[in-house]
Amino acid sequence: MDNPKKTGVATMDKFELAEDKLFDYLIEKGGLLDDPSNKLLLPPSQQRAKLKKELHEAAENLDLDIDLAPALHILTEEGTSYLDAEMYEEMARQLADVPIYLEQLDLSQPPKESLYASLHISENTMLSIYKIGVAKYEEENLEAALSLFGFLATLDHQNEEWLYRLGITATQMEEWDQALKAFTFALFRNPDLLGARLFSAECYLMLGQKYEANEEIKEAKRLIQLTSPEPFWLETLTTLEGAIK
């Protein structure tokens, strides 16, 4: 068996060269912009229409502004510290083959499956990457966590959890624009994510955009009326409402 660490390092270099192609594939062939659920994201107002237009412009490049190379380095060089041997070997083998499957993708045809599946990355490996991302976040290695969650979101932009975690990590780093972008993509997938609504409001406040923050608070209140949220979310809402006055 090939040494997974050696193949992983080689893959990191090749992946950097293939990154633009992967991003183009996500946007042009991934169906993100044609999703009918997008219409549920924004209430009808001029400001919201402007935000939606800006989001579409950002989506044309899936502009997450995240360096993915550190994620691949962490996964291949540190994965054994977080995974058992079998899961690590599966992950390292699949990541080593990413450039091969990227070259085999027929970008002239709509995808028949998710990008990670097209790259022959298993759901188990996606969960392994997620496990390491959560561990890095809990270790307060936020830059590592950001790269790992960004990698997951790139491979599967339809998974709201990856995007949500990406947004939370960016918030902790006070990267408000980056966090807001991740939360907005998460809300593309699920407009009823209470946490994403409230954290988006916080991001808008930190960016000095009180009108947009208030719009998110309105949406959060609507969701709270329909559910029984944990006290943390109610406290967060109260704090945000106090800050917006």
Pick the closest to residue 74 from 18, 151, 159, 157 (CA basis).
Answer: 151
The pTM (predicted TM-score) of the whole model is 0.73
Geometric angle at alpha carbon 158, from 153 and 164, rounded to 5°: 55
pLDDT of residue 107: 64
Compute the residue count for the chain.
245
- Return the pLDDT at 228: 87
Query: Which contacts qualify for 212-217: CB closer than 8 Å, 24 or more apart?
Result: 212/47, 212/51, 213/240, 213/244, 214/244, 215/43, 215/45, 215/47, 215/48, 217/241, 217/244
CA distance 99 to 19: 10
Query: What pLDDT sits at residue 219?
Result: 94
The pLDDT tens digits of the residues spanning 86-140 come to: 999 999 999 988 888 888 877 666 666 778 988 899 999 999 999 999 999 999 9
Integer Cα distance of 189 and 32 in angstroms: 9
pLDDT on residue 143: 94
CATH topology of domain 4-41+64-189: 1.25.40
What per-residue confidence (pLDDT) applies to 244? 84
The answer to whether the beta carbons of residues 136 and 75 sit under 8 Å apart is no
Report d(CA 33, CA 37) in Å as an integer: 10
Average per-residue pLDDT for the chain: 78
Kindly list the averaged pLDDT for each block of 10 residues, start to end, along the chain of length 245: 37 41 43 39 45 44 64 92 96 89 74 81 96 97 94 87 95 94 88 95 95 94 92 94 87
pLDDT of residue 57: 47
Structure confidence at residue 172 (pLDDT): 96
Q: What is the pLDDT of residue 33?
A: 34
